[in-house]
Amino acid sequence: MMINTTLPVPFRQRMQAQLGAEYPVFTAALTEPVPVSIRVNPQKNVWQRKDAEPVAWCPEGFYLPERPVFTLDPLFQAGAYYVQEASSMLLADALRRTARLHRPLRVLDLCAAPGGKSTLLASLLTNDSLLVCNEVIRSRVPVLRENMEKWGYPNVAVSHHDPEEFGALAGFFDIVLVDAPCSGEGLFRKDPDATLEWSEENVALCAGRQQRILSAALPLLQEGGLLVFSTCTYNDEENLNNADWLHQQGLESIKLEFPDVWGVVEKSRNGVSGYQCYPHRVKGEGFFLSLFKNRNRTGAPTPVPRAFRSLKPLPARQIPAVKPFLRQPDAFSFYIKPNLEVFALPEVLSADLRILDAALYNKGFGLEMGVFKGNDFIPSHALALSTAVSEDLPAVDLNREDSLRFFKKENLVLDSSVKGWLLARYEGLNLGWLKGIGSRVNNYLPKDWRIRMDIREY
């Protein structure tokens, strides 16, 4: 919880100037508890709670009356929901109003880790759309990958590149999201330590960095494509100035008519509109969003390479070992990497993925199915969590306690004589793989996914 006196003095002065008479109500809101909210995964639709209050701008979003220990909820581990601050979910409504979401789209989330907006985008898109989630900071890529694997959609690619390294994908995307690194003023209540990093110099630094990211993002859009620029900060230097700059680059600012009762504040300058959430006006943290249509011409479409550079087709004799793991195997083609990892790529995305494969060197895409060890096929954890996995595979339903023991990577004693691969399941959702070997059942949870918390304390 934040108290007014811990706010940096120049920040207070700026906010007083920005909010005028509203400033005391704003600072009072910073002393209130942070609302807890989650967004459910529409393709793993099992989460429900009668005491949850809906988020007005996102039908998949809900406020919880208190903060549970999410780590110890097997549904959270299975990707049934993502814990996300509610203001950020405004992105869902902005795109539902403006994008042709019923069509196959190519979407890039350029600053994606840890994956909050990527999971939101994935849920908005059709299954034959392509979502590329990129993160430039190496140490943040694993959490992004893990969150996207949990969410479970096979039409997702995760890449690790500087925005300037996307040049070969000029004109490729229908939607680009730049959820930019920022001075984080909107998170002061949630993370009071963020105030320590705040300075006027840092605001200026962030504003410049954002403009560099935006200038790398612009050429990636198709003519008529949408650019979303968002931050979790309040100042005009980062928000409106950069929105204004986008307008000067030939983009059209799109006005969004959010209902007044939502409390989102429209900020306008020179025909450019941005939308600001303040914690004293919405039930959520500080967030800024602006949306643009690209009016600039793009060059010729990117040529489609004939083959994948980083993958070889899986030999025909190995295909029967992997197909039964999928609900609709004929919707995929199968490939193998030099390290023997097998991937299922949605047929419908084949051309787009070949383009991506040629354009980016540090990326992964499609559904990681598993790996061959001799003649044995070891299915991957990502496959267990995928929405594409077959519903007809042997499975065992675990109670909450055994589910948590599964996530502690303990071996379970189960009343099961099944030999071979077995899905561990909780309330109808897959948690991962077990393997029955006659005398016992081995737990195949990857060790990086193991929860470290003591499960008996709760």
- Residue 395 binding ligand SAM, by CB under 6 A: no
Residue 351, interface with ligand SAM (CB under 6 A)? Answer: no
Number of residues forming the site for ligand SAM (CB under 6 A): 16
Identify which range of 110-118, 188-196, 251-259, 339-347 contacts ligand SAM by CB under 6 A: 110-118
Short-list 143, 148, 146, CA closest to 132: 148
Tokens for 212? 């560099």
Q: Is 190 in the site for ligand SAM (CB under 6 A)?
A: no
> Do the Cβ atoms of 125 and 105 come closer than 8 Å?
yes
111 near ligand SAM, judged by CB under 6 A? yes
Asked if residue 136 binds ligand SAM (CB under 6 A), the reply is: yes
Count CB atoms within 10 A of the CB of residue 127.
Answer: 16
Binding mask 13-32 for ligand SAM (x = CB under 6 A): --------------------
Of the candidates 113, 291, 385, 393, which one interacts with ligand SAM according to CB under 6 A? 113
State which of residues 8, 59, 68, 181 lies at the interface with ligand SAM (CB under 6 A). Answer: 181
Q: Note whether 286 binds ligand SAM by CB under 6 A.
A: no
Q: Please answer whether residues 366 and 380 qualify as being in contact, where contact means their C-beta atoms are separated by less than 8 angstroms.
A: no
Instruction: Tell me which stretch binds ligand SAM (CB under 6 A): 132-140, 240-248, 354-362, 364-372.
Output: 132-140
* Given 29, 112, 322, 349, the residue binding ligand SAM (CB under 6 A): 112
**Residue 206 contacts ligand SAM per CB under 6 A:** no
Nearer to ligand SAM, 87 or 443 (CB): 87
Determine whether 232 is an active site residue: yes
The reply on whether position 152 binds ligand SAM by CB under 6 A is no
CB of 343 to ligand SAM, least distance (A): 25
Among 35, 154, 163, 370, indicate the residue that binds ligand SAM (CB under 6 A): 163
Task: From 24-32, 108-116, 343-351, 443-451, give the range in contact with ligand SAM by CB under 6 A.
Answer: 108-116
Q: Which is nearer to ligand SAM, 183 or 380 (CB)?
A: 183
For residue 428, state whether it binds ligand SAM (rule: CB under 6 A). no
Stretch that binds ligand SAM, among 114-122, 265-273, 384-392, 449-457 (CB under 6 A): 114-122
For position 114 contacting ligand SAM by CB under 6 A, the verdict is yes
List, in sequence order, every residue forming a beta bridge with 426; answer none if it has no partner.
Answer: 429
Given 213, 221, 382, 388, the residue binding ligand SAM (CB under 6 A): 213
- The values of phi and psi at residue 420, to 5°, are 100, -165
Residue nearer to ligand SAM on the CB measure, 172 or 308: 172
Least Å from the CB of residue 58 to ligand SAM: 13
Shortest distance (Å) from residue 110 CB to ligand SAM = 6
Residue 115 or 366 having the CB closest to ligand SAM = 115
Q: Does 79 interact with ligand SAM (rule: CB under 6 A)? A: no
Residue 137 half-sphere exposure, CB side, CA atoms within 13 Å?
Answer: 10
In angstroms, the CA 367 to CA 314 distance is: 14
Among 136-144, 235-243, 320-328, 355-363, the segment contacting ligand SAM (CB under 6 A): 136-144
Q: Does 329 bind ligand SAM (CB under 6 A)?
A: no
* Binding of residue 209 to ligand SAM (CB under 6 A): yes
Which of 261, 256, 258, 257 is closest to 282 using CA atoms?
261
Which residue number, 116 or 171, has a Cβ lying nearer to ligand SAM?
116
Per-residue exposure over 240-275, b if at least 16 CB sit within 10 Å of its own CB, e if not: bebbbbbbeeebebbebebeeebebbebeeeebbbb
Active-site pick, 58, 182, 206, 232:
232
Nearest distance, CB of residue 138 and ligand SAM, angstroms: 10
Counting contacts by CB under 6 A, is residue 137 touching ligand SAM?
yes
Residues noted as catalytic: 232
Kindly list the residues in this chain that would bind ligand SAM in the complex (CB under 6 A).
Answer: 111-117, 135-137, 140, 163, 179, 181, 209, 213
